[in-house]
Structure 1
């Protein structure tokens, strides 16, 4: 089968490439991957806005002190709140001191502190039998909004140059592929 292409100078006959199921399946798969990449990019943009401008933080869990509520390897989004807004039962992240990682545990008691803005929070991990050794005096904490199990290793790797370079190349390839002109659909 041939196709006639007319130009200002002449008429050219070219063989028409047959449309195969494989080409159609590849196109559909590519579209699905492009939409999935766009959704992931949108999610990353939302998290970037939340953490950069609205005071949210992403916490990665490497210990099992909050299991089964928050398993090891989870990532959580925490929102900054005043200590006066903290209630018993909240899961909060507090700073422990210089050079130490913050702790995320459940609030078991809230008491007033010496200063008007501060509170003394007694915390306990859900997997622990005892409260933390001493109450934390805080004026502000990070309250957990939600957590996603199993994504902490991936989130930690995404920030490394070993991952950012290949992801940039893949993103550029998707953009080029998505914007590449396609042949018009032909009627049968």
Structure 2
């Protein structure tokens, strides 16, 4: 014998089903939680994909255009490039250097120096230049000029992200991010079984 279906009965079927012992089992909230979890996982996967794409672009630029990143630990170039900034630099021949450029000069046995060019003079050979530099925050030029055949010129800089970039290079952080990304991918693509509503959930009985 079929029991007539009422509006109230339909609403109860959507929100809950009856287990064998008569207790209410919520269906809609569980489905909502699953959908929210999948949405969050999708967002995290897109963020991870974007980060991976950025890394790939940086690697390609480093090999093809000789563009790399440098971090500013001191404020000698403030306020133009304050401490804690990250700059994109590109290696160029010394013949392209002009007064006013901000360049990085590599020094044997010492840390590189990144200052603004204040003077350019010919070197001992055609491809060499003798440059004088000064930090924007300094009152005088560097103690001695630099003979260079190539330099890394600053194309642009982003303030305040050096700490984040340095932290990303920590082996512990990289290992944790790798494990987290692996778990996220496995969770997102793990096959899920389809759940069927229990008997009696369709509002009819024999």
- Is residue 2:138 matched to residue 1:148? no
User: Cα–Cα, structure 1 residues 162 and 105, in superposed 2: closer, same or farther, change >3 Å?
Assistant: same
Distance 1:155 1:52 in 2: 20
Tell me if structure 1 keeps the 8 A contact 2:93–2:150: yes
Tell me if structure 2 keeps the 8 A contact 1:51–1:58: no
- Is residue 2:96 matched to residue 1:85? yes
Q: Give the aligned length.
A: 171
Q: Which has the higher strand share?
A: 1
Distance 1:50 1:182 in 2: 41
CA RMSD between the two structures: 2.3
TM superposition shift of 1:53: 4.5
Match of 2:34 in 1: 23
- SS of aligned partner of 1:126: coil
Distance 2:119 2:52 in 1: 40
Q: Looking at CA atoms only, which structure, 1 or 2, has the larger radius of gyration?
A: 2
Alignment match of 1:159 (pick from 145, 162, 169): 169
Distance 1:173 1:49 in 2: 28
Match of 2:71 in 1: 60
Q: What TM-score results when the alignment is normalised by the length of structure 2?
A: 0.74
TM superposition shift of 1:178: 3.6
Distance 2:130 2:181 in 1: 47
Q: What TM-score results when the alignment is normalised by the length of structure 1?
A: 0.80
5+ unaligned residues in a row in structure 1: which ranges? 3-14
Q: C-alpha offsets along residues 28-85 of structure 1, whole Å, 9 cap, x if unaligned?
A: 2222222122111111111122224432222111110011111111111110100001
Which deviates the most, 150-159 or 165-174?
150-159
Q: Kindly indicate whether structure 1 or structure 2 has the higher relative contact order, using CA contacts under 8 Å at least 6 residues apart.
A: 2
Q: C-alpha offsets along residues 121-153 of structure 1, whole Å, 9 cap, x if unaligned?
A: 111111111111111110000011221212212
Distance 1:150 1:162 in 2: 22
Distance 1:119 1:148 in 2: 29
Q: Which runs of 4+ in 1 moved over 4 A?
A: 181-184
5+ unaligned residues in a row in structure 2: which ranges? 1-12, 15-24, 195-206
